[in-house]
Amino acid sequence: VKPDNPDVHLQYGEVLTVLRMKEDAAREFASACQLLEASGRYGDWLNGLRRLIALDEDNLHGRLQLAEALARAGRAEESAKTFKALAEWLLRRDEITDWEQVAERALVQDPDDTTLAHDLALHYVRSGKHAMALSKLAICYEAGAVSAELLELSIDTLEALGQLEKAAMVCRELLRMCRRT
């Protein structure tokens, strides 16, 4: 009766979800999302997209689309959380290249996440991508998350980049840290 009403598609999708008819529910949620986006109801569109993704946890494209949409909507905290969950999922599946890109996007949304910055730096150093590791190490260092491991990673990175004087300075700082402990 109302094929252009997105609310009808959402409700029908909910009914189909309860009936465990996932493919049909996904089709209804997708239709609702298209109508909601076309009508400019972005908040409802995000909720519809969440329902669609909940039906298929392996929907990489949908999860990425949701995280990007949250970022565009200025909802950085939700976007970062979605990116981080997606990054963890990719890491469990051993999809390292995709993990790098998604983790980078998560760090853009939450630049204070020193754990993620450290994980990326460690990965980049092990992969020989020292130039990429340097900015992640700087995030950790500026946040005060200085440890012996961080200093060692910094030394390896600076040496690989040919910045031997800076590497020596960090080496002296590591030596001071070792003497204190």
| Banded model confidence at residue 1, pLDDT cuts 50, 70, 90 | low
User: Can you read off the two tokens belonging to residue 36?
Assistant: 């909601």
The confidence score (pLDDT) of residue 117 equals: 93
pLDDT score for 133: 92
Chain centroid to Cα 67, Å, comes to: 8
Pick 31 or 137 by higher pLDDT. 137
The proportion of the chain whose per-residue pLDDT surpasses 70, expressed as a percent, equals 99
Higher model confidence: residue 6 or residue 164? 164
Q: C-alpha angle 116/122/123, rounded to 5°?
A: 90
Mean residue pLDDT across the chain: 86
pLDDT given at position 35: 85
Q: What average pLDDT does range 18-43 have in this prediction?
A: 81
Tell me: pLDDT of 40 over 90.
no
pLDDT attached to residue 71: 87
Query: How far is 164 from 121, CA to CA, in rounded Å?
Result: 19
Give residue 21's pLDDT band: very low, low, confident or very high (50, 70, 90).
Answer: confident
Q: Lowest-confidence range among 36-40, 67-71, 100-104, 149-153?
A: 36-40
CA dist., res. 105 & res. 38, Å (int) = 26
Tell the residue number behind the tokens 């094929």, with chain if given.
3
Query: pLDDT tens-digit profile of 91-107?
Result: 999 999 999 999 999 99
Evaluate whether 135 touches 154 at the Cβ level (below 8 Å).
Answer: no
